[in-house]
Amino acid sequence: MKRTALVPTGEATIGPFFPPRYVDAGANDLTLFEGRKAKGEAIEIRGRVVQEDGVALENLVLEIWQADARGIFRHPADPRSAQADAAFLGWGRAVTDTQGSYIFRTIRPGAPQGRAPHVNFMVMYSGLMRILKTTMFFSRDPDPVLAAVPLPRQELLVAKLEKPGIYRFDIRLRGDNETPFFDD
Amino acid sequence: MKTVIEARDERTQPARLVPGYPQTPLRNPREPLVSRQPTLSELTGPLEVARRVKLLGGDIAGHGEKRAIGQLIHLRVRVLDEDGAPVGGTVVEMWQANAAGRYIHPNDDDHAPPDPNFYGAARLVTDGNGLFELRTVKPGAYPVPTRDGWWRPPHVHFSLFGKVWLSRLVTQMYFPSEPLNAQDRILNAVPDAAARERLVARLIAPTGDPHNALVFEHQIVLRGREATPEQP
- Tell me the ipTM for this assembly: 0.96
Nearest to A77 among B43, B84, B103 (CB): B43
Hey, where are the domains in chain B?
3-226
Based on the residue annotation, tell me whether B152 is a catalytic residue of this protein: yes
What is the identity of the amino acid at B177? S
- B184 Cβ contact list (under 8 Å, min separation 6): B150, B151, B152, B153, B174
List Cα–Cα distances, A103 to A51, A170, B144, in angstroms: 18, 11, 31
pLDDT in tens, A46-68: 999 999 999 999 999 999 999 99
- Single pTM value for the model: 0.97
Mean pLDDT, chain B, integer: 95
Q: How large is the average pLDDT for residues A72-101?
A: 98
pLDDT bracket for residue B49 (50, 70, 90)? very high
Query: What count of Cα atoms within 13 Å lies in the side-chain half-sphere of residue B28?
Result: 20
| E-only strand ranges, chain B | 3-4, 72-80, 91-96, 121-125, 131-137, 142-143, 151-152, 155-160, 169-174, 202-203, 214-221, 225-226
C-alpha distance across the termini of chain A, in Å: 29
Pick among 3.30.70.260, 2.60.130.10, 3.30.450.190, 2.40.40.20: CATH of B3-226: 2.60.130.10
Using CA atoms, how far apart are residues A118 and A39, in angstroms rounded to an integer?
17
Nearest to A19 among B95, B186, B223 (CB): B95
- B230 Cβ contact list (under 8 Å, min separation 6): none
pLDDT in tens, B22-48: 999 999 999 999 999 999 999 999 999
Q: Are B79 and B86 in contact (CB under 8 A)?
A: yes
Using CA atoms, how far apart are residues A107 and B229, in angstroms rounded to an integer?
33
Q: Is A144–B40 a contact, with Cβ atoms under 8 angstroms apart?
A: no
User: Exposed (0-12), middle (13-18) or buried (19+): which is A53, by Cβ within 10 Å?
Assistant: exposed
CATH for A20-113+129-172 is 2.60.130.10
Nearest to B40 among A11, A78, A122 (CB): A78
A3 pLDDT above the threshold of 60: no
Based on the residue annotation, tell me whether B174 is a catalytic residue of this protein: no
Q: Write down the pLDDT at residue A21.
A: 94
pLDDT in tens, A106-146: 999 999 999 999 999 999 999 999 999 999 999 999 999 99
B5 touches chain A (CB under 8 A): yes
A90 pLDDT above the threshold of 90: yes
Using CA atoms, how far apart are residues A55 and A63, in angstroms rounded to an integer?
21
Q: Would the CA dihedral through B14, B35, B48, A22 be positive or negative? A: negative
Based on the residue annotation, tell me whether B103 is a catalytic residue of this protein: yes
B124 touches chain A (CB under 8 A): no
- State how far residue A100 is from chain B, nearest Cα, in angstroms: 13
